[in-house]
Amino acid sequence: MAFKLKSHGEVFGIHEKTSKFGTPVIIKDDLESGVEAEANRDGTIFVNSKLSDKKIEKAVAHEKVHLDQMASGRLQYSEDSVTWKRDTRSPARVYKRATMNEGHPDFEWENEAYKQS
69: three-class secondary structure by DSSP = helix
Of the candidates 112, 86, 81, the residue with the CA atom closest to the CA atom of residue 99 = 81
In a domain, 18, yes or no: yes
pTM: 0.87
In a domain, 2, yes or no: no
In tens digits, the chain (117 residues) has pLDDT values of 677 888 878 877 889 889 899 999 999 998 988 899 999 999 999 999 999 999 999 999 999 999 999 999 999 999 999 999 998 789 999 999 998 888 899 999 999 999 998
In a domain, 3, yes or no: no
CB 17 within 8 A of CB 7: no
The tally of domains found in the chain comes to 1
Of the candidates 62, 52, 57, the residue with the CA atom closest to the CA atom of residue 109 = 62
Q: Rounded to an integer, what distance in angstroms lies between the CA atom of residue 32 and that of residue 11?
A: 23
In a domain, 25, yes or no: yes
Residue 43 lies in domain: 8-116
Determine which helix (DSSP H) or strand (DSSP E) holds 28, and give its type and residue range.
strand 25-28
